[in-house]
């Protein structure tokens, strides 16, 4: 019997990109798991190939009763499913979705000798004052700034305490942008928000800096194109011996001004930026600098991101946003 791959959060941003990339590798033996609800993320699965779809509630019920054997031979679980809102204040919901669910699925995968790769988060690093090292030694010093980051950190710590990080791979994605994020509301990337603002007004609003050591728009992020995020994730599917926590980013910190320039350039429009005050409620949680330390990723054998900021933004704008919000779709057989 052929083994299948489970992708949770399969209709989400990174999850659907994984299904897309697996399709383009010639694989359709994919069990998609998600909670579609009433938003538009179902469109992320339109045009992709998979063997079956199961709603999250039914999946968890079957998992708790039968384990992964209910779903046949499963070679790997790519667990992207989560409540990914950094502004979520229902901590009990975050614990159920991001901590308890992940524990249940991890235990089931290991019991079935299935590869387990899961989404941790760069939000675990908090304000960055403890650095961005993805080694296990620094886990205890990390202080996430929001409940979402804390819920992701809770599982990382749980896995380490039980000695599981030597058997599974946890991926800390940095600022991901690209096609299939359209359903994410306020959690959409600044690239998409910038495209919308510039399309409507010809101008872009960026937060003014409220620290003297950063000029306006010079706050920095490690921006990662979703195609690179998917590629790095499948790298860990292919390398079952590469385990532990890994940053998934470009390893380069770019300013918001650089992002603005890339979007205006891709749209063929003159740069026009206005700086506005950051809301008071956000100032205590705002990260002024993020950059993935990628030494462990490189040592594992990953060649690094293919898309720099200019290249990723150009591909996103020209091939997905300009055509009217085009989705990632399985490439036709030639």
- For the annotated catalytic residues, the residue numbers are 148, 184
Q: In sequence order, which residues have a C-beta less than 8 Å from that of residue 91 and are 6 or more positions away?
A: 147, 150, 151
DSSP secondary structure code for residue 214 in this structure? S
Terminal-residue alpha carbon distance, the chain: 28
Take residue 253 and report the two structure tokens written for it.
């910190």
Give the whole-angstrom CA distance, residue 80 versus residue 19: 11
Closest alpha carbon to 81 in 115, 56, 49, 57: 56
CA angle 14/150/232 to nearest 5° reads: 30
Take residue 79 and report the two structure tokens written for it.
């667990």
- How would DSSP label each residue in 86-99? TT---HHHHIIIII
């Amino acid at each position: 019997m052929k083994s299948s791959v489970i992708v949770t959060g399969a209709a989400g941003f990174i999850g659907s990109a994984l299904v897309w990339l697996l399709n383009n590798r010639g694989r359709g033996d994919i069990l998609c798991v998600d909670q579609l609800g009433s938003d538009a993320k179902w469109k992320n699965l339109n045009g992709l190939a998979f063997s079956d779809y199961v709603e999250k509630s039914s999946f968890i019920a079957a998992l708790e009763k039968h384990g992964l054997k209910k779903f046949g031979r499963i070679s790997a679980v790519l667990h992207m499913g989560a409540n990914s809102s950094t502004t979520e204040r229902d901590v009990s919901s975050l614990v159920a979705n991001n901590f308890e669910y992940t524990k249940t699925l991890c235990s089931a995968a290991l019991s079935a000798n299935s590869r387990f790769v899961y989404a941790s988060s760069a939000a675990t690093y908090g304000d960055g004052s403890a650095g961005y090292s993805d080694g296990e030694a620094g886990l205890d010093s990390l202080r996430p700034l929001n409940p979402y980051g804390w819920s992701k950190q809770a599982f990382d710590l749980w896995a380490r305490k039980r000695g599981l990080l030597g058997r599974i791979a946890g991926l800390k994605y940095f600022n991901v942008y690209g096609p299939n994020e359209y359903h994410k509301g306020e959690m959409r990337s600044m690239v998409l928000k910038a495209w919308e603002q510039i399309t409507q007004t010809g101008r872009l609003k960026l937060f003014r800096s409220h620290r003297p050591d950063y000029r306006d728009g010079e706050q920095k992020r490690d921006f990662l194109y979703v195609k690179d995020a998917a590629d790095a994730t499948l790298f860990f599917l292919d390398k079952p011996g590469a385990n532990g926590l890994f940053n998934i980013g470009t390893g380069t910190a770019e300013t918001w001004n650089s992002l603005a320039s890339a979007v205006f350039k891709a749209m063929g429009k003159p740069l026009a930026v206005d700086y506005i005050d950051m809301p008071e409620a956000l100032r205590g949680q705002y990260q002024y600098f993020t950059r993935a330390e990628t030494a462990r990723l490189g040592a594992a054998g990953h060649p690094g991101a293919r898309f720099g900021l200019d290249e990723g933004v150009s591909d996103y704008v020209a091939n997905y946003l300009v055509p009217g919000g085009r989705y990632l779709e399985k490439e036709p057989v030639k």
